[in-house]
Amino acid sequence: MTAEFSRRTEALLNRAEAICGHRGANLTELRRHVLGMILDAASPTGAYDLLDRLRQTRRGAAPPTVYRTLEFLLEQGLIHRVERLSAFVGCIAGCTADPDGESHTHAAQFLICRTCGRVVEMQDHDVSSVLARAAKDAGFIISTATIEAEGLCSTCRSVPSARGRGNRMAS
Amino acid sequence: MTAEFSRRTEALLNRAEAICGHRGANLTELRRHVLGMILDAASPTGAYDLLDRLRQTRRGAAPPTVYRTLEFLLEQGLIHRVERLSAFVGCIAGCTADPDGESHTHAAQFLICRTCGRVVEMQDHDVSSVLARAAKDAGFIISTATIEAEGLCSTCRSVPSARGRGNRMAS
DNA sequence: GATGGTATGTAATACTATAACATCCCTTGT
DNA sequence: ACAAGGGATGTTATAGTATTACATACCATC
């Protein structure tokens, strides 16, 4: 039994499945299910949240079930890990990439709202290149970079009375 | 009995103690000891590493002992947490700051070498400001940012036969 | 129907971090 | 002296995140 996700999520899942197919990777039902839960969530989702929900339909689910699945999705560039939250978010760019392209991790930056807990993903080339440049000046060649900012999103700025759907970090 | 650290570390500790004094903060022997271990290490140090070493001279040490101490040192800007490693490094800028200045966290960027595990701290203003600008364009006001890059340091680049003192991430 | 590879199941454990409450010790006002 | 208050640390227990190691299932294909 396949879980039901929003129409948008289902569309992304189909896209991701096609991408994996072109790469020879196998987006199994389990992987599709986990990716769907992540894409469908308003905020980053923790591994054990995913596990709890997985168990509702999958009796034998255990931590390795989830972590192996997350590893696959990370490798395929379909999700990102948000270090500061130990949680995972979908990567729209990864889920809508050129099917002929390589699987790869995208250089992304995350903006985490302290009030509503939502996370916005940027893929700002200037940020990446300025960092790469500064690192190079220090004799360092970057492979991957984690860039995560915490602060206040535009919505929460205009609505000071914080409502907290998905809130993970109210003060 | 105060642990013995390198001359450089002792100098930084004295500086840090003076800074705390000016702020009305109390760099106790425990805090000084933990800060010394962190400053003395070649690579970021985990909380439980610190705990194990603390126990050699401090019978009742337990996780809260370490985490409370780390919290204090973070608040004083004397150390940083490296998210990708769940580990802690000293902040030279924080340990040599103007004693009259406020305690504050510095906007720092970390370069983590995959081969030797060492971490270099940058405080590159361009990186911070380009990120702040990009975030602002997305309607987001940044409070703090985590910027951590993984790659290859200049030393390990010139010595391909990786020696791994303090290595936490050999491939 | 044997072989090999990918994917998943299962049990146990390691690693990281916090909660909650008790105690100690010092300062300061009386 | 001593009570009151606050900061620092001790102590026990538990929560939260992640990995190891080994077993099994499934599928392709020769």
The answer to whether the beta carbon of residue B86 comes closer than 7 angstroms to any atom of strand C is yes
Euclidean distance between CA atoms B3 and B32, whole angstroms: 9
| CB-count burial class (<10 Å; 0-12, 13-18, 19+) for A111 | buried
Q: Which of A127, A130, A144 sits opposite B150 (nearest CB)?
A: A144
Tokens 């168990």 belong to which residue? A55
- Gap from A65 CA to D17 C1', Å: 14
**Which residues in chain B have Cβ-Cβ distances shorter than 8 Å to A138?**
111, 120, 122, 154
**Which residues in chain B have Cβ-Cβ distances shorter than 8 Å to A154?**
138-140
Nearest C-alpha neighbor of B119 from the set B94, B79, B89:
B89
Scanning residues 12 through 71 of protein chain A, those with a beta carbon under 7 Å from any atom of strand C turn out to be 25-26, 28-31, 58-65, 68-69
Residues A17, A72: contact at Cβ < 8 Å? no
Per-residue pLDDT at A57:
94
**Which residues in chain B have Cβ-Cβ distances shorter than 8 Å to A83?**
83-84, 146, 148
Q: What is the pLDDT of residues A38-84, one digit of tens each?
A: 999 999 999 999 999 999 999 999 999 999 999 999 999 999 999 99
Tokens 């972590």 belong to which residue? A67
Q: What is the pLDDT of residues B41-77, one digit of tens each?
A: 999 999 999 999 999 999 999 999 999 999 999 999 9
Average pLDDT over residues B89-114: 86
**DSSP H or E stretch at residue B87:** strand B87-90
For residue A107, the 8-state DSSP code is -
Give the number of residues written for chain A. Answer: 171
What's the distance, Cα to Cα, between the start and end of chain A in Å? Answer: 40
Residues B121, A140: contact at Cβ < 8 Å? no
Residue of chain B nearest A130, judged by CA positions:
B127
Q: What is the pLDDT of residues A132-170, one digit of tens each?
A: 999 999 999 999 999 999 999 999 988 865 444 444 444
Positions of strand C less than 7 angstroms from a protein CB: 6-13, 15-20
Residue of chain A nearest B125, judged by CA positions:
A134
Per-residue pLDDT at B171:
35
Euclidean distance between CA atoms B66 and B51, whole angstroms: 6
* Alpha-carbon dihedral sign for residues A67, A73, A77, A81: negative
A75-79, A154-158, B87-91, B145-149: range with lowest mean pLDDT: A154-158
pLDDT exceeds cutoff 50 at B104: yes
Residues A98, A104: contact at Cβ < 8 Å? no
Residue A41: which region, alpha, beta or left (left: phi > 0; alpha: psi -120 to 50)? beta
Per-residue pLDDT at A3:
63
Nearest C-alpha neighbor of A75 from the set A44, A35, A45, A36:
A35
pLDDT exceeds cutoff 50 at B31: yes
Per-residue pLDDT at A166:
46
Per-residue pLDDT at B9:
97
Interface touch B149/A126, C-beta < 8 Å = no
Average pLDDT over residues A115-126: 92
Residues A167, A116: contact at Cβ < 8 Å? yes
Per-residue pLDDT at B99:
78
Residues A131, B148: contact at Cβ < 8 Å? no
B131 pLDDT tier (thresholds 50, 70, 90): very high
B168 pLDDT tier (thresholds 50, 70, 90): very low
pTM (2 d.p.): 0.89
Rounded to a whole number of angstroms, the distance from the CA of A105 to the nearest CA of chain B is: 13
